[in-house]
Amino acid sequence: MAYDSYENVRLWEEIALAMLKKYTERYYTFRKREWELPHLEYQDLAESDPNLMGVAESPGDDHYYRILYDRSQAEIAAKLEELKTAILRGDLKKWNLHGLRAIWSKSHLYQPLLYLDGKIVEIRPAALNKGERRFIEDLAAFHDRDRGFFQGRELYLLRNLSKGRGVGFFEAGNFHPDFILWLLIGDQQRVLFVDPKGIRNLGPTDPKIQFFQTVKEIEQRLGDPNVRLESFIVSNTPSHTMKRLWNMPKTDMQSRHILFQEEDQDTYIRAMLECAR
């Protein structure tokens, strides 16, 4: 900000513009929340929800995967036809093709999810990334390993699509968590929003990090005693890295509903579900 060169005027202009944009965004968010407050309500998940793949009347609709590949690659075409046949038959077997994998999850509301490691094809909606795939696998492993935990409980999972189609939260910077998880206990619903991600570039006051508090405010506004809302970040950034960046012990990060996927692989799913009991 030193006043030693006229060339600094351009930098000052950029700073002022960035601050004005930030102020406008915050003011708009405040007014939007004020308007939404009396209109918020819970709704049942409808079959026409964009998050549910494969329920549209024809493959021409947006409820189906789009996989783009070079027509000259006959192997890919044959393998994709094999996968399509398996889906129609309900034959939930392992399927992979040079980094493209079908992930079958008993608790997920449709089958399969697709994971892509590489650029052999293009997939719409976007395929799972490594952290998302590992979360599904860790959840399935816990479900199979600890059946006693789920006595009297039902578990359902749904991948949440990105902006424009999935469930988003404007009050958290238009945050679209990657997964919605339901834990049903009698007539009680625990709805968990779970987002596996790297957090190295996020600060402790980032709206995505603070969403564990924001979602409780939404819960209070909705006022249904049979529904509890929770939010978790499943970090693939190690806790020792974040301790150095945030100057914060791991226990404080865990109290903010940040779970560590790598180092706590055998325990973080239980910790998340225990919190929602």
142-174: per-residue pLDDT in tens?
998 988 899 999 999 999 987 667 787 776 667
pLDDT at 43: 87
Q: What is the pTM of this model?
A: 0.82
Task: Of 54-58, 93-97, 112-116, 232-236, give the lowest mean pLDDT range.
Answer: 54-58
Write the burial class of residue 13 (CB in 10 Å: 0-12 exposed, 13-18 middle, 19+ buried): exposed
Task: Of 83-97, 149-163, 212-226, give the lowest mean pLDDT range.
Answer: 83-97
Task: Of 76-90, 229-243, 256-270, give the lowest mean pLDDT range.
Answer: 76-90
Query: Under a CB-based contact definition with an 8 Å cutoff, are residues 76 and 123 in contact?
Result: no
Task: Indicate if the pLDDT at residue 191 is higher than 60.
Answer: yes
Query: Under a CB-based contact definition with an 8 Å cutoff, are residues 204 and 248 in contact?
Result: yes
Mean pLDDT of 228-242: 96
Element spanning 75, H or E: helix 74-89
Letter for the amino acid at 215?
A: V
Average per-residue pLDDT in the chain?
A: 86
pLDDT at 171: 66
SS3 content of the chain, % helix, strand, coil (to 5): 40, 20, 40
